[in-house]
Amino acid sequence: MNRFYEMNRIDVRFKELRARREKAFIVYLTAGYPDLSTTKKLILEMAKIGVDIIELGVPFSDPLADGPIIQQSSQEALKKGVSLAGILNLARAIRMDSDIPLVLMSYYNPINAYGLKRFVRDAKRSGIDGLIVPDLPPEEGRNLKKEMERAGLDLIFLAAPTSTFKRIRKIADASRGFIYYVSLTGVTGVRKKVPPGIKEGISRIRRYTDKPICIGFGISNPAQVKLMRGFGDGLIVGSAIIQVMERNQGKRLIPETIAFVEKLLKACKKDG
């Protein structure tokens, strides 16, 4: 382990969850959709009801891994001028009221444009705990990984059903915080059925690591959450939540979204 590295909020949360034999429930939100103020209110409400980790998506003009629901929310945020700097300011404001672990999900371009060292410094100061960069493979992420480890921040890599054993080993070695297992080939989005082979995919990763493995892409309702909670260490839901937000604009957005998240959260926990 890098001598600069220390446990952060993500690591502490998984340690607590494992002690309770519970799975992590992680919510993805597009930062700034429908606006930054609403994003903050949602995160604080989700922290109150027991969501374990928030994944904050940085809006990007060409989000290759995102399906139409997240793409649309990203475009709406970009139209309102939401930027990486603005999202870091949002994180800083959240930290005044909550200690919930915060993970940024950003494509590499905005980070590179911001400047790697400057980004990591500002992310640390803002209270960010981890980072997911879906278009950055471990082989090309050494410089960013080094800066992240120096700051005590987790760089989280993605593994997929198509990942070879050689690649899984690299991902397992490089990831900190948790490993993001993409449950299906393709983009994010709401799915009617749970993809086959998830249990086997997790088992393949388990050959190389005991780090937490969290499953994302396509988890859409409480029944799917309950079905999949036994496969890994946590579940990530994004598109289904943003879809509820789209359907409930205005005053109903926050209460309806929180009500839906509460159902997913209950299904994720052992007494759900």
pLDDT at 65: 56
Beta bridge partner(s), residue 213: 179
In the predicted structure, residue 193 carries a pLDDT above the cut 90: no
pLDDT at 10: 97
pLDDT digits (tens, 9 = 90+) for 101-146: 999 999 999 999 999 999 999 999 999 999 999 999 998 989 999 9
**Of the given ranges (3-17, 154-168, 197-211), which has the lowest mean pLDDT?**
3-17
pLDDT at 63: 58
Burial class (CB in 10 A: 0-12, 13-18, 19+), 20: exposed
**Catalytic sites, residue numbers:** 55, 66
CATH topology of domain 9-268: TIM Barrel (3.20.20)
Cα 91 from Cα 96, distance rounded (Å): 9
DSSP SS3 for 237: strand
Mean pLDDT within 196-221: 90
In the chain, where the domains are located: 9-268
| Length of the chain measured in residues | 272
Q: What is the pTM of this model?
A: 0.92
pLDDT tier, 68 (very low <50, low <70, confident <90, very high otherwise):
confident
pLDDT tier, 3 (very low <50, low <70, confident <90, very high otherwise):
very low
Name the residue type at position 170: K
DSSP SS3 for 117: helix
In the predicted structure, residue 194 carries a pLDDT above the cut 70: no
